[in-house]
Structure 1
Amino acid sequence: MRNHSLPFVTAPVCLVLCLALGLLAGCMAGQQRGVSGAAYVSTSRPAIMVQARDLELRTAGRGTGMLLNASMTGGLSPTVRTVVYGSTAKAPMAIIAHAELPNDWWIWTTVLPRVGAIHEGTELIDGVAFMAFTYLVPRRTDPYAGIVGDPVGAPEEGEPQAYWLARYFGVRTNFNRDKIILEYREPAPQGLVSLDTIPFGMTDSLAAFEDRARKAFSLSSPAEAREPVRDGYPEGVRWQYMRDAFLGDVMYQEPVSRFN
C-alpha cells in the first residue's frame, strides 16, 4: 500500500513546489533596468523608457554614489544607473540618472534647487511632472566632467568654476525610494559666471535654453523597447563626485513593514 500511495502524495506537492519556484524566478527576473538601444529602460517601479532626442549615446551603465549628508556613519550608497548623450563640448549634452536607495529605511526628500539656481518650478515632460531649476555646473565637482570634453573657453583653475549651463529635472518614484534625474546642458555663454544677475540681453536666450531643455527628452512605456536591456559600467563618470549635490537629499524613515 505504501508504494502505491506514494506517487499520489508527492506529485501534487512537486507540482505546487515547481509552480512556486517558477513564480519566484519570474518575479526575480521580471524587473529589468538598463539601456535598450539608446534609451534608458526600467520595466517596473517605475515602468518607464527615457531617451534624449537627437543626441548621440556616449556611455551608459551602473555605479555607486555616496550621500555624505545622510545621518549615518560612512554615508549612504545608492545604486545609480546613468546614460550620457553628446558628441563634443561645443554641442548640447544630456544626462539620465536613476538613483535607487539601498533599503527601506531611507527615502528621497523633495527635489530642491542647488545653491545659486534660478527659475525653479514644475515642468511637464510627456505628462510627468518634474521639479526643475537652472544652474551653472561647477567643473571641479561635476561627476560628468570630461565625458564629451570641456566647453571651449571654460575658465581655468582659480577662476569661476562654471562651464556648463544646465536645466535639471527631478522626480521621486517607487514610494520615494527611487529618483529619476534628467539634465540638459549647453556650453555656458561667454561671460556668464553667475546667475545672481543675468547679463543684459541674455534673458530671452535663457528662456529659449529652458524651452530646448524641456523638449530634449522623451518619456514612454518600456513596452516600446525594441532591443534587449543591457546593463554595464559607464566610461568616464567620476563616481567620487556622484554625491548629494547632484543626487539630492535623503531622510531616515522607519519601514512600514516593521510595524506589521
Structure 2
Amino acid sequence: MTIRLDDRVAIVTGAASGIGASAAVAIAAAGAHVVLADIAGCEDTERAIKNVGGDSLTIRTDVSRADDVKSLVARTIAAYGRLDHAFNNAGTEGRAEHEIHEADEEAWDQALAVNLKGVWLAMKYQVPAMLDSGGGSIVNGASVAAMVAFDKNGSYVAGKHAILGLTKTAALEYADRGVRVNAVCPGVVRTPFIERFTGNVPEVEARYTEIIPLGRMAEPEEVAKAVVWLLSDESSYVTGHGLVIDGGLVAR
C-alpha cells in the first residue's frame, strides 16, 4: 500500500530532529507541503526533504507560547492557503532525577508548558484552519508514558497521560466536522531524546532494550510510517485512538 498526501499541507512541530524530523520527511515524501516548527534550526530536516523531492518551510516556534503557535498557523495559511494535517510532536523529557515530593516547581511547569499546553495550543489554532479547509487530521505525540508510569519523572508521565485524554476529547468534539484526532505512543526510539539518557553507552542501552519483547529500540522511521498512516485517508475510520508503537513493552 502506497500512501499519498499529494498537495496537502502539514505542520510538524519538533521537526528539527528525532521522530519529528523523520515524520516530516515521510510526510513530504508522500507529497505534502510540510511546515517545520521548532525552537532549534531545521536545516538537516530541510535537506532531507529536498533529497526526497519534497517541499518545506521552516518557522521558528516555541509551542508553549500562544503568539508563536498562532503565528505558525497564520503563516502556514499565508504560504499555502490551507491546512490539512498536523503532527504535534514537540516535547521535552523534563528532569528525570527527582521523586514527586522533591520535584522542582519551575521544572514541572516548564515540562507541562511544552508537552501538554503546547499540544493544546497547537490544536486550538490548527482546528479552525482545518475546518476552513474542509476538514483534516491531527496526530499528537504522546508516549508509552501515556499508558504506564515511570518513576522519577512525574511531569513527563502526567503530561503524556493528559495528551491522550486531550486527544480523545478533541476527537469527540470535531468528529462530525471532518477533523480526526489521534495520538502515537512510541516506546524506546533511537533518537537524541533517548541518547540523552543512555549516553550511547552499550551497557546502558542494553538496560533499555532488555525490557522490550522485540529486543531492540525502534527507529524513528518506524514511528513516522504510523504517523503518515494516521494522517492519511487510509485511516479514515480511526479517531480518538492512541496507537502504541513499543515493540511489545506495555504488553508485559
Tell me, yes or no, whether TM beats 0.5. no
**TM-score, normalised on structure 1?**
0.25
Larger RCO, structures 1/2 (Cα 8 Å, 6+ apart): 1
Structure with the larger helix share: 2
Structure with the larger strand share: 1
**TM-score, normalised on structure 2?**
0.26
